[in-house]
Each structure stands twice: as C-alpha cells, then as structure tokens.
C-alpha cells in the first residue's frame, strides 16, 4: 500500500512541478492534500489527477496561456477536496446511492466541507485568486441549463456559472464517462463517450467547451489526456 501511495504522490509531484503559474506553497499544499485524499479514497485521488489533466488540456485548446493552463491543472486537481468530509462508505459505494447518501455527496461543494487552511489562509492572503478557487470548487456540478447542484442549493445557469467551473465540469464528466465504459473495447467505448458529450452540449455543457471536449475525444480517442492512473 505504501508503494502505491508513493507512486501516486510521485506522479502528482512530477505533474505539479512541471506546470507554470503555480507557486511553490500551493504546489506543496496540494501535494499534501492529494496524499490525504489517497488515504481517504484512492479512487477519488486518481480521478482528481485525471480531471486536473483534462481541465488543463481544455484550457490549452481554448487558447489559454501557459500560466493559466498550469493554474487550471492545479484547481482541477483540487476540485473534489470537499470529499475529504464525505464518509468513504458513501464516497466509494459501488451501487446506486440513496437519496440521503446523495445529499451527503452534494455537501462537498460547500466551503464548510473544505480544509480549513484552504479557506482561511488563501482567502485572507490571496482574495482574488481565492475567488476563482471558490468558484471552481463550488460550481463544478452545475449544468449549463441550470440543472445539477451548487453550494447551499443555489442555482446558476449558462454564463452565470464561472468559466473555470464549466471547464472542470466537462473534464469531470469526460473522466466519469470514460471509466463507466471501461470494460468495453476501446473504439466502442470512446465512440459512446463522444456521443454522450455531444448530447450534453448546450444542456450539460457550455456549448464551446463541450464542442472542444468532443473534438478532443474524436481526435485522440483513448489517449485524450485523462487516461491512465
């Protein structure tokens, strides 16, 4: 188990220290958070890494500069830190969640579930950057059409949803779809992922971001940047 943890942390460190736009303090803090996430739920830890990669790729394909892409990787990596407050029996449950369990899961987008140092220190020292981190963590389960969920039952739709949250939302779905179809042959699996993404453009996803995600899957298939542990 320790070897698996070391493999994960080494991979996270290699990718965190390989991007621009992220301070050393943030890199170290995220690295420690991801270690805590691995102990809590390895499934969520690996998912977070893939979503970080996917968010960065979407940012690059949307024309963001190198520093912004690095920051998108970091915030995508951190998008589910609120799940540290979700009991692992609910978080990693293999079957369908009950209504009560889903309500517990939904709490991870509220700041009450986030690590205290992330909220208090970052909001005090870096108010502008914290605002964007808050937007990413709070709104990444909000759909373009206003369905989904936000913090404390608040609803937004369309351009009211912060752009960083819209990017993470697409990368999150892409990873979930890819892993849901994981037992199918690679070609069939990625065709189904492409169809699901296309079906969600304009309802689940920002039209521009959804099209970019769909084109990315079509072009690179199994190697679309979120694959691998």
Distance CA 103, CA 137 (A): 17
Does residue 228 sit within a domain?
no
- pLDDT given for residue 29 in this prediction: 86
- pLDDT given for residue 3 in this prediction: 61
Task: Tell me how far the alpha carbon of residue 23 is from its chain's centroid.
Answer: 20
Does residue 127 sit within a domain?
yes
- pLDDT given for residue 1 in this prediction: 61
Kindly report whether the global pTM for this prediction surpasses the value 0.85.
Answer: yes
C-alpha separations of 143 from 85, 155, 172, 223 in Å: 23, 10, 12, 26
HSE, side-chain direction, 13 A CA sphere, residue 9: 18
Q: DSSP readout, 81-146?
A: GGGGGS-HHHHT-SSPPPHHHHHHHHGGGSGGGS-HHHHHHHHHH-HHHHHHHHHHHHHTTB-TTS
Does residue 169 sit within a domain?
yes
Does residue 202 sit within a domain?
yes
Does residue 152 sit within a domain?
yes
Does residue 229 sit within a domain?
no
Tell me the CATH number at 47.
Answer: 1.10.3210.10
Indicate the length of the chain as a whole number: 229
Active site residues: 83
Distance CA 213, CA 63 (A): 14
> Please, what is the Cα angle at 221 between 14 and 163, to 5 degrees?
65
- pLDDT tens, per residue, the chain with 229 residues: 666 999 999 999 999 999 998 888 888 889 999 999 999 999 999 999 999 999 999 999 999 999 999 999 999 999 999 999 999 999 999 888 999 999 999 999 987 767 655 554 454 455 667 788 889 999 999 999 999 999 988 999 999 999 999 999 999 999 988 876 554 445 557 788 888 999 999 999 999 999 999 988 877 655 554 555 5
- pLDDT given for residue 183 in this prediction: 44
Q: Who contacts 213 (Cβ-Cβ below 8 Å, separation ≥6)? A: 58, 170, 171, 174, 197, 205
Q: Take residue 96 and report the two structure tokens written for it.
A: 């369908």
Give the structural domain span for 23. 2-223
- pLDDT given for residue 223 in this prediction: 52
Distance CA 66, CA 64 (A): 7
Does residue 178 sit within a domain?
yes
Q: How many domains does the chain have?
A: 1
- pLDDT given for residue 181 in this prediction: 52
């Amino acid at each position: 188990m320790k070897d698996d943890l070391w493999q994960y942390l080494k991979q996270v460190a290699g990718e965190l220290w390989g991007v621009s736009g992220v301070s050393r303090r943030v890199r170290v803090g995220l690295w420690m958070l991801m270690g805590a996430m691995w102990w809590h739920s390895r499934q969520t830890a690996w998912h977070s890494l893939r979503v970080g990669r996917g968010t960065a790729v979407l940012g690059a394909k949307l024309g963001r500069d190198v520093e912004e892409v690095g920051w998108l990787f970091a915030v995508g990596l951190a998008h589910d830190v609120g799940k540290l407050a979700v009991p692992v029996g609910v978080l990693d449950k293999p079957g369908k969640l009950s209504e009560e369990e889903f309500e517990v899961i939904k709490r991870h987008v509220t700041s009450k579930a986030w690590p205290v140092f992330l909220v208090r220190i970052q909001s005090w020292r870096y108010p502008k950057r914290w605002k964007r981190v808050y937007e990413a963590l709070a709104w990444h389960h909000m759909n373009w059409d206003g369905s989904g969920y936000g913090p404390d039952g608040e609803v937004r739709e369309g351009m009211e949803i912060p752009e960083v949250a819209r990017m993470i939302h697409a990368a999150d779905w892409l990873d979930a779809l890819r892993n849901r179809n994981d037992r199918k042959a690679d070609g069939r699996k990625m065709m189904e992922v492409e169809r699901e993404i296309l079906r969600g453009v304009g309802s689940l996803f920002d039209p521009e971001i959804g099209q970019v995600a769909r084109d990315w899957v079509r072009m690179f298939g199994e190697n679309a940047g979120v694959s691998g542990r």
